[in-house]
Chain A
Amino acid sequence: MTTPLLSISGLTKAYPGVVANDAVSFDIMEGEVHALLGENGAGKSTLVKMIYGLVKPDSGAMALHGAPYAPPDPHAARKAGVAMVFQHFSLFEAMSVAENVALGMEEPPRLRDLATRIKDVSETYGLPLDPGRIVGDLSAGERQRVEIIRCLLQDPRLLIMDEPTSVLTPQEVEILFQTLRKLSAEGVAILYISHKLEEIRSLCDQATILRQGQNVGTCLPRETSAREMAEMMVGSSFAAPERASRAPGEVALEITGLSVASPSAFGTALKDIHLSVQAGEILGLGGVAGNGQDELLAALSGELPSDAGAIRLNGTPIGWLGPTARRELGLLAAPEERLGHAAAPDMSLTENAFLTGAQREGLTARGFIRWTAARAFARAIIERFDVRTPGPDVAARALSGGNLQKFVIGREVLQRPRVLVVNQPTWGVDAAAAAAIRQALLDLAANGAAILCISQDLDELMEISDRFGALNEGRLSEIRPAQGLSVEEIGLMMGGAHGMEVAHV
């Protein structure tokens, strides 16, 4: 038997109140595509941060090519041949591709030489990229290529990829996989972090599954069903959301020709959006992040005003109304960012319940806050949505992501909206909580509310939507019935490969 490329034994890392990794051991062989699988919070990120030298383990050891390996910082890790592509890119939008790559290098060559090398690498691995382009103009998929090429220029032996496909369309994923297969054929090992099971089944040779910081098993993804892997991840089976059949009612929300500029410099302007949602219906909007999702939510919540007639609620033009007036009319929203947007981190749950509940729950009397009523409302949310917290006086930031998300969604659902707009309702939420949130949205629709669900999780959208559309560069695709849509069709609606097949070299 050959020595493994990277051997991990007994890695443990504890943070206050939580053991992120508990004696995790496994081996990665040369040229192997190894999946690291687990729910959010299972300890995947902590583990790879230790391998990449960002976090030091409390105990345990690693060996690279049989020699002890304990990188004090990422610099040392890179020197040892370990490279990592992060989920969130660290690129400067105002600079060119070559300049960005140079910034990440220890001793950058002259820009002209670097540009040549970037072209070489990108052609070898089928990742077309023009080194002279400004990063701010690139699609998410192309930005990821910049990060990958930055890594490949270091001739890595092990490439770590953290949730690489969450920002890609299905077509872009296929291009990425071809590159990764090519790398693996050359002997580069790839540690691939994901919770998308089908992807792992098609790409990976080995899988290690983490649950609550522990290695709960390894499997050969090609010979294991997605269901079996899911059960290993979650540790038990959970109820999949059920949808009752329902007859859509009248049009509740109608958007006609909505165009608004983005408030931020590198945001995406909305361009001529048309859509309508009927009572009792869930309209799912997919799309890669940064294609106008935040702007659409802001335009609907009232944070971003538009022409009065562009948005109509039950026929009433509301485009120029602010958030308060829209809430009174029954249009509620739950933004993607929980801390700082949907909720104030340092305020208590009671205060956060008041944040959007003030009008519809009658929590004020002549401008004065009825704290008792607000606390009762917060308590009702906590009970109805199974929010795990000591009580309504706890600060929002003390809650885990999943619990706070249940609170934020529950806060809007309990206010009996006529139209509810949600963005990424289950982002960073464990599977059981995600199922509960989806069930709540389905129940709400069954009771006659119109729901617009913006999400980057296609499985989620297919599970709950009646109709599906996709946002691409601020435009909305044609909207089609969700049932019977193929992955290819969805990918094309999301903008295909964003013109990525066409090389700019």
Chain B
Amino acid sequence: MLKLEKRPQPSRLWTWVTPLLAVVITMLAGGALFAALGKDPVEAIATIFWQPLFGEFAFYYRPQLLIKGAPLILIAIGLSLGFRAGIWNIGAEGQYIVGALTGAGVGLAFYPTESVLIFPLMVLAGALGGWAWAMIPAVLKLRFGTNEILVSLMLVYVAEQLLAAMALGPMKNPEGMGFPGSRNLRQYESAHNAELITGTGMHWGVVAAFIAVIFAYVLLTRHSLGYHIRLTGQAPRAARFAGVRPARLVLVCLGTAGALAGLAGMFEVSGPAGQVSIDFNVGYGFTAIIVAFLGRLHPLGILLAGLLMALTYIGGEIAQSNMGLPAAAIQLFQGMLLFFLLAVDVLTNYRIRLARREVA
């Protein structure tokens, strides 16, 4: 009989092994899924994990890894701070949209003036927009005790309506011949979040993501604010005893997550996406939740998890077009990753023992 036995303290080794184990199990279960769909499982797994990096068209896909990974990492870093403190912001998608709208709005307002100040202003506006959207659940929670999970989630749908209204109304391109969507910021030099090094996918959003990773790492391991965040999540009563003010932490965590999500939206709209359109958001804000947990809420883990998630996105698209795998199968595959991670997570705190049946 198998028995779970609590470890005296969490295993350092397993903390790092479990994500890898989860990836391996996902490959096995995903392979079985693809086989059941009548596709060659080895080829499918290879398409998802190998093609984007080392395949024939890798020169095209590799930059995509950074382009898709950066927003995921940026958002997940912000979310992880709150998750560590037990503050559950599920609405990063909405903060991402609003950040894109405010960022793009500033850029469009200056059109066609050219100035080096415009882009920094857009960055600021994007961060502020996301921050303000996240402050709604924060203030409601502190003032009325509402649940931040529900409020932040519902605000995603409000943000989506706002996005549609903007794309069809105030931000619509006057020279767009009636099509919905704003002017293309890629064609407006002062507002364009251009590639910094051609052919690498490196843009300001990627730089921001790396800075966020380093910043979060230092915050969590060296700064007392990061300590208070961890303490609040692990032992809320001990945190209050230590002198942590929970209200301040709610504002800081939700605010940071909102600002980073807003930044991600702003970098996306001014770069890879180019314009405010009805279907601008593709779910980065939700996927980032998976990325945050896959990376065990650790900044370096999130960096790797974000890249891995981007890889399954890109590889999944290749598998869809080359092998005719249904999109739902790819989404299931990505879902499995989180599922298995949470399942094997138990091994960091418990060990498996073979046990004799106890004598009655």
Contact = CB atoms under 8 A, between A and B. Distances in A.
24 contacts: A56-B358, A56-B360, A57-B359, A58-B359, A72-B360, A302-B243, A322-B245, A323-B243, A325-B243, A327-B243, A337-B237, A342-B238, A343-B235, A346-B9, A346-B234, A347-B230, A347-B234, A351-B227, A355-B238, A356-B241, A356-B242, A364-B224, A371-B222, A397-B9
Interface string B332-360: 00000000000000000000000000111
B242 A345 contact: no
Nearest to B225: A367
A398 interface: yes
Contacts of B238: 340-344, 355
B178 interface: no
B360 A367 contact: no
Interface string B228-242: 001100110111111
A295 B239 CA distance: 17
Contacts of B242: 323-324, 355-356, 358
B261 to A, nearest CB: 25
Given A72-B360, A354-B227, A368-B222, A344 B235 contact: yes
Contact of B223 (A327, A345, A346, A368): A368
Contacts of A358: 224, 242
Interface string A258-293: 000000000000000000000000000000000000
In this complex, the interface size class of chain B, counting residues with CB under 8 Å from chain A, is 20 to 34
Interface in B192-240: 222-225, 227, 230-231, 234-235, 237-240
A398 B9 contact: yes
B359 A303 contact: no
Given A57-B359, A323-B243, A340 B237 contact: yes
A51 B9 CA distance: 31
B145 interface: no
A59 interface: yes
Interface in A297-315: 301-303
Given A56-B360, A369-B223, A369-B224, A345 B240 contact: no
Interface of B: 5, 8-10, 222-225, 227, 230-231, 234-235, 237-243, 245, 358-360
A354 B242 CA distance: 9
Contacts of A333: 241
Contacts of A369: 222-224, 227
A394 B242 CA distance: 20
A347 B232 CA distance: 12
Contacts of A351: 227
A491 B123 CA distance: 69
**B interface, by DSSP: helix, strand, loop or mixed?**
helix
Residue of A322, A327, A369, A395 most packed against chain B (CB within 10 A): A369
A340 B231 CA distance: 10
Nearest to B9: A395
Given A56-B358, A57-B359, A341 B223 contact: no
Contacts of A367: 223-225
The size bracket of the interface on A is 35 or more
A342 B223 CA distance: 21
B234 A344 contact: yes
B243 A395 contact: no
B243 A324 contact: yes
Contacts of A356: 241-242
Given A301-B241, A367-B224, 6 more contacts: A323-B242, A341-B235, A344-B238, A347-B230, A368-B222, A371-B222
B10 A323 contact: no
Contacts of B239: 344
Contacts of B358: 56, 58
A346 B243 contact: no
Nearest to A16: B5
Contacts of A394: 9
Closest 7 CB pairs of A and B: A324-B243, A395-B9, A323-B243, A344-B235, A398-B8, A341-B237, A56-B358
Contacts of B225: 367
A356 B241 CA distance: 8
Contact of A395 (B5, B10, B241, B360): B10
Contacts of A354: 227
Contacts of A364: 224
B237 to A, nearest CB: 5
A344 B231 contact: yes
A215 to B, nearest CB: 20
A356 B244 CA distance: 11
B234 A322 contact: no
Interface string A387-402: 0000000110110000
B241 A342 contact: yes
Contacts of A303: 240-241
A335 interface: yes
B84 to A, nearest CB: 12
A70 interface: yes
A395 B234 contact: no
Contacts of B360: 56, 70, 72
A345 B349 CA distance: 13
B231 A355 contact: yes
B233 to A, nearest CB: 10
A294 to B, nearest CB: 10
Contacts of B359: 56-59
Given A58-B358, A58-B359, A364-B224, A347 B243 contact: no
A216 B235 CA distance: 40
B241 A323 contact: yes
Nearest to B235: A344
Nearest to A393: B9
A344 B235 CA distance: 6
Contacts of B223: 367-369
Contacts of A322: 243, 245
A59 to B, nearest CB: 6
Nearest to B8: A398
Nearest to A344: B235
A324 B243 CA distance: 5
A341 B241 contact: yes
A351 B235 CA distance: 13
Q: Count chain B CB atoms within 10 A of each CB in A301, A346, A364, A395 and give the residue with the most.
A: A346
Nearest to A325: B243
Contacts of A397: 8-9
A303 B237 CA distance: 9
Nearest to A356: B242
A346 B227 contact: no
A58 B10 CA distance: 28
